[in-house]
Each structure stands twice: as structure tokens, then as C-alpha cells.
Structure 1
Amino acid sequence: MGRLEGKYAIVTGASRGIGRAIALELAREGCIVGVNYQHNQALAEEVAAEIKSMGRECMLLQANVADPTEARAMVRRFLDAYGRLDIMVNNAGITRDRSLRKMTDEDWLQVIQTNLNAVFFCTTAAMQPMIEQQYGRIINISSMNGQTAAFGQANYGASKGGIIAFTKTAALELAKYGITVNVVAPGFTLTDMLSKVPEEVQNQIKARIPLGRFGLPEEMAKAVVFLAADGDYITGQQINVNGGAYM
């Protein structure tokens, strides 16, 4: 029996990378999972098939969470189906890396809308049923690059730093309802995006990581499960899963 047996969760951006690993780990621990995706239905269906192969239930939730109407409708669809939402994992994110001299308004706005504003849209939709339940776990996926500078990521860093600040205020306001709000901040993680970086550059990055390797999506997922299952007295905090790259 899993540590989250009978709990209901939504994971945004769950068709690939860290979001996929989170959805699978939550399901493994007993959750019924809403698997959000925007475009790639085939990948989302692969995640759903893997969850079902565990004997667990899930629901595919197509939505662009950067759109407030779609984000809130997605949460409503899940609530209409199951009547409860215990865990909201705000993971969806994009990059549009450019130096400030080359960054366009569109580069800036797209990243802020998807990475930061979507956290607000989904949190405000999820918190009302959690308030009624007097229980909830909201877990926001930030980044080490929301804590330290990264060249060409003014938009990304601002969005991820904003998530950390938002989380603290949400944690303060929602604690009295039995809702915890926390951040997992991954470092360099072995996802499709990182695997496309040339090997020489990967080696340069690894040389700056005290543990000498990239993180795995599954390691980020385990931090999320810890907060969901065992973090009853943890709120407004960050778990940095970065191999010591930022301390």
C-alpha cells in the first residue's frame, strides 16, 4: 500500500521530463493522477498507460495552463470526475533563452506566462476545494536558476524566482486551512532538453557540480512525494535537489 493511497493529484506538464516522473511516482505511491499536457497527446497517453499498468487510475487533462480559462477549467474537470483534489503539482515550464540584448518581448512574456502566471492560475483554482477539505498539498517546481544567475535566462530566472516568492505568500495565507505550499528547485537534470547539449558542454557543467553528475527526473519526483506524503509540518520552504551546485 502506497504512502498516498486514496489521494487525488494533478501534475501540470506531465507528459515528459520531470513532470512525467512526478506523475508516475505519485501513482506508484497510490494517487489517482490527473496528467496534464498541452500538445503531445501521444506522450501523455504513454504516461497514462504506464500508470494503468501499475493498476492505478489516471485522467488525461489537455490544457494550456498559461491560459487562465483553460487552467481553471482543467481543475474543474478533474473535480467533476473525482470530487476531490489533494495534491497540486505546478510543473509546466518552457525556456526561451537569449541574452537581454537579443530577448524579445514575446520571449519574455511567453516564459513568464507559462512558468509563473500558470502557477497562480492553477493554485487559485485548486485551493478552494482544498480549503473546503481543510487539507491540501501544493508543490511548485522552480529551479536552481531562480536562485542564482544563468546567462541568457533573465526571463526564466525571473519566472522561477517569482515562483519561490509566490510560494511563501501562498504558504502563509493557506496554512490555517491545513494546506502546505512548498517548492522543489531542481538543478541540472537529465531530461530531453539537457541531453541535446553537446557532450563537451555537459562535461563543463558537471565539473561545477560537487556530486559530479546530473540529477535524474526520478530524484526530483521523490522530493515531491516526500513533501506530499511526509511534509505535514513543512510549508513555505524550498527543497534544493541540485547535487550541491547551489548551496
Structure 2
Amino acid sequence: MKADVSDEDEVKAMFARAIDHFGTLHIAVNKAGLQRDAAFHQMTLEQWNTVNLTGQFLCARAAVREFGRRGVDSPVSVAAGKLLFMSSVHQEIRLGGPR
């Protein structure tokens, strides 16, 4: 299911389609982010929020709302749901040149 995860309405629609198709969700894996040509220290707050924080927040919030609506499904897990947040290879890139 494709959606712009920085757009709240698209995230809501994506989760609605997923829940309609699967009945519920038990896990959400957040791996949203885009490469920007600006170095981290030159990135604007708007770029950071749109690309790296907003998408993960909106998807996690939608998942948690579904987990709360459904509650614990004890044959599946002792928790109502699971959230997994992933990073990228950019943690390996240093500022200021080679290692």
C-alpha cells in the first residue's frame, strides 16, 4: 500500500485500507526517510520534520490507535501491538571527512 507518510490524510487512508484488508494490525515497522543533499547540520527544521519525524510519528500514532481500539489479542501476544523503528545507513556517515 503506497502513501506519502508525511501526509496525515494519506496515512489515515493507508491504515484504513490495511485494517480493512487484514482485519487488524499487530505490528508497525517504521522505515521512512528520504535522502536530502543538505548535511544534517544544514538541514532546515521543515525538511527534518517532513522527512524524518512526521512520517514515523503519523504511522506510529495510527498503529497505536488501532492497537488500543482492538486491545490485547492474547493468542497473538501479551501486548496490544508492537512498534519497530528503523534507521538508515546515514549513522555511518561522519561530518567533516573520513574516519
TM-score (norm 1): 0.32
- Residues 1:139 and 2:76 are matched in the alignment: no
* 2:65 aligns with one of 128, 133, 140: 128
Distance 1:99 1:80, change over 3 A: closer
TM-superposed CA distance for 1:74, in Å, is 0.6
The answer for the alignment partner of 1:72 in structure 2 is 12
SS in 2 for 1:109: helix
Structure with greater strand percent: 1
Structure 2: tracts of 5 or more residues without a match: 73-79
* 2:23 aligns with one of 83, 97, 105: 83
The answer for the alignment partner of 2:75 in structure 1 is none
Distance 1:100 1:63, change over 3 A: closer
Larger Rg: 1
Q: Distance in 2 between matches of 1:141 and 1:72?
A: 21
Q: Distance in 1 between matches of 2:30 and 2:19?
A: 17
Aligned residues between the structures: 91
- Residues 1:115 and 2:52 are matched in the alignment: yes
TM-superposed CA distance for 1:68, in Å, is 1.1
**For the Cα contact (< 8 Å) 1:130–1:136, is it kept in 2?**
yes
Q: Distance in 1 between matches of 2:27 and 2:38?
A: 34
Segments ≥4 residues shifted beyond 6 Å? none
Q: Distance in 1 between matches of 2:90 and 2:61?
A: 25
Alpha-carbon deviations, 1:3-39, whole Å to 9, x = none? xxxxxxxxxxxxxxxxxxxxxxxxxxxxxxxxxxxxx
CA-based RMSD: 3.1
**For the Cα contact (< 8 Å) 1:66–1:117, is it kept in 2?**
yes
Alpha-carbon deviations, 1:205-247, whole Å to 9, x = none? xxx6xxxxxxxxxxxxxxxxxxxxxxxxxxxxxxxxxxxxxxx
Map 1:1-247; keep pairs closer than 5 Å.
61-99=1-39, 103=42, 105=44, 108-131=45-68, 132-134=70-72, 135-143=80-88, 150-151=94-95
Q: Distance in 2 between matches of 1:100 and 1:62?
A: 27
Alpha-carbon deviations, 1:162-193, whole Å to 9, x = none? xxxxxxxxxxxxxxxxxxxxxxxxxxxxxxxx
Greater relative contact order (Cα 8 A, min sep 6): structure 1 or 2? Answer: 2
Sequence identity, in percent? 32
SS in 1 for 2:94: coil
Distance 1:120 1:70, change over 3 A: same
Structure 1: tracts of 5 or more residues without a match: 1-60, 153-203, 209-247
SS in 2 for 1:89: strand
